[in-house]
Structure 1
Amino acid sequence: MTSSEESPSFRLAYVPGVTPAKWVRIWNERQPDVPLALVGVPAAEAADTLRDGGADAGLLRLPTDRAGLSAIPLYTETTVVVVPKDHVVATVDEVSVEELADDIVLHPLDDTLVWERLPGRPAIERPATTADAVELVAAGVGLLVVPQSLARLHHRKDLTYRTVSDAPQSRVALSWPEEETTDLVEDFIGIVRGRTVNSTRGRPRPSAQSKDKQQKGRQSKDKQQKGRQPGSGTARRKPAAGGSGGRSARGASGGAGRGKPRRRS
């Protein structure tokens, strides 16, 4: 193996609309020796990408097939309807699904929302992608209901969006293979959960060898500090009273048998 193959790395998959930039920046600050590679995947393929080993972890949308995967929900997105700027919906702050009943509502094949009953009237054909559906909205063919981040991702000057109060919502989660909860995965979990760099969770614990080195270092430091303290084994011992203490003893007592001379009256 080459040295480049032996170097650690971390591959993070992410689906359209999810922006991992903040977490990537923190990772680069904390793990400068472990490059993070971003892997963009369609929402429908994200879970399989993780199961097939295409990434170490991924930011995907729930609900999804989580067989063999662990997942931590991170946040829930607002659902919006994308409309032309001159549409009547653009004049209000939010609408209900019922208020879209008379409109054609496009349902792309890559839709990430789970509907019990589709809103509005169906189009003749389903667009292949959300991007295609946005183009049809701009052409006046129909409306599109999506998570807000996708509406922002496909923003156009001639379109706008409004909140749909009672539509299904999409949750974004961090996921990884259950059998591959590595130290690097734990580190990234700590980052997305907002743990500090000094947190003991989300980072690999020191090995037994590392702990022994730390303990020996503390013991050595304690010995050095004790050696500087008075009364330690390296300090000079004070002579006993009455003994021959040499020059230092005489200096301290002022000389044996010598006192202060008396004044004559």
Structure 2
Amino acid sequence: MTGSEATPSFRLAYVPGVTPTKWVRIWNERLPDIPLTLVAVSDAEAFDVLRGGDADAGFVRLPVDREDLSAIPLYTETTVVVVPKDHVVAAVEEVSAEDLADETVLHPLDDTLDWERPPGQPAFERPATTADAIELVAAGIGLLVVPQSLARLHHRKDLTYRPVTGTPESRVALSWPQDRTTDLVEDFIGIVRGRTVNSSRGRAQTPAKAEPKAKRPDASAARRKPTSGKPAAGKSAGKSARTGSGSGGSKGGAKRGKPRRRP
């Protein structure tokens, strides 16, 4: 390798709440000589990072601009409402958006849900980030509706969350620039899609084909084949199906007639 050649590597961006651990582990098992670098990005900057070449691919939230980016939808997150542990919502298993109509619901500027109109009553001011909104929930200022992964990311002992229906849902996808669908990107796509190491698309990890094994002789055929030309014990070589005697006139084989009377 010349000094001008760069060592192959793969940069993977991911937005808050996404945990890429499983896919990174599989990558390291299959391509141990190609380091994978994680790049943490906000939802707002994720697409600029991909377009600018600062990451080869990334876990992002839909929608994705399909004019220059490819995307594979992966899963849909549960939407939850974050509340103090002593709030009345904490006593139920699930609530609806209508149940929050009289509550102050915080709407941070980095909100990841595509609201037509957030539920509840708006706060006096929108928090700058989801992390700031979590602090306000803990202070009793209001409630917060977010994807469940963000509620887990910002977990606090004095807060809890419950699923909420009738609200938008966040969908996570793997995305990359269309004009930079490299072999390494294809390898990572295969990992995310669950392709096995021997998949036809698993370019970097397909092992050489093993030599075909020699065909074993058919043991059952060998057992069926006579070991000699002699008939089996107790059987004649040329018995007739009707008389049980041979056709060559062996002893006792010819039919005897009546004795002739002497003159």
Task: Calculate the TM-score normalised by the size of structure 1.
Answer: 0.76
Structure 2 Cα separation of the partners of residues 68 and 199 of structure 1: 28
* Partner in structure 2 of residue 200 of structure 1: 200
Q: Residue in 1 aligned with 2:122?
A: 122
CA drift of 1:5 comes to 5.5
User: Which residue is 1:18 aligned to?
Assistant: 18
Counterpart CA distance in 1 for 2:202 and 2:56 is 15
| Structure 2 residue aligned with 1:246 | none
What is the Cα deviation at residue 173 of structure 1?
0.3
Change (3 A) 1:61 1:126: same
Q: Which residue of 1 aligns with 2:46?
A: 46
Aligned to 2:9: 9
Verify the 8 A CA contact 1:47 1:66 in the aligned structure 2: no
Q: Which amino acid aligns with 2:18?
A: V
Partner of 2:89: 89
Per residue, is there more helix in 1 or in 2? Answer: 1
| 8 A contact 1:115–1:168 mirrored in 2 | yes
Partners of 2:205 and 2:18 lie apart in 1 by 31
Asked if the contact 2:16–2:40 (Cα under 8 Å) also holds between the matched residues in 1, the reply is yes
1:163 paired to 2:177 = no
* Offset of residue 203 of structure 1: 2.7
Give the TM-score normalised by the residue count of structure 2.
0.76
Residues 111-131 of structure 1 show CA distances to partners (whole Å, capped at 9, x for unaligned) of: 000011111110111101000
State how far apart, in whole Å, the 1-side matches of 2:29 and 2:178 are.
27
What is the letter of the counterpart of residue 154 of structure 2? Answer: H
> In structure 1, what is the equivalent of residue 231 of structure 2?
none
Query: Aligned equivalents of 2:192 and 2:205: distance in 1?
Result: 19
Residues 122-142 of structure 1 deviation map (CA, whole Å, 9 limit, x = unaligned) = 011110100000000000000
Alignment RMSD, CA only? Answer: 2.4
* Residue pair 1:63, 1:170 contacting (<8 A) in 2 also: no
C-alpha distance in 2 between matches for 1:128 and 1:8:
38
Question: What count of residue pairs does the alignment treat as equivalent?
Answer: 214
Question: Tell me, what secondary structure is at the counterpart of 2:47?
Answer: helix
Q: Which runs of 5+ in 1 are unaligned?
A: 207-213, 226-265
Q: How does 1:125-140 map to 2 (within 5 A)?
A: 125-140=125-140
Mind listing any 5+ residue stretches in structure 2 that lack a counterpart? 215-263
Corresponding residue for 1:148?
Answer: 148
Deviation, 1:64, is 3.9
Matched ranges for 1:52-91 at <5 A: 52-91=52-91
CA distance in 1, matches of 2:2, 2:160: 52
Contact 1:61 1:172 survives alignment (8 Å)? yes
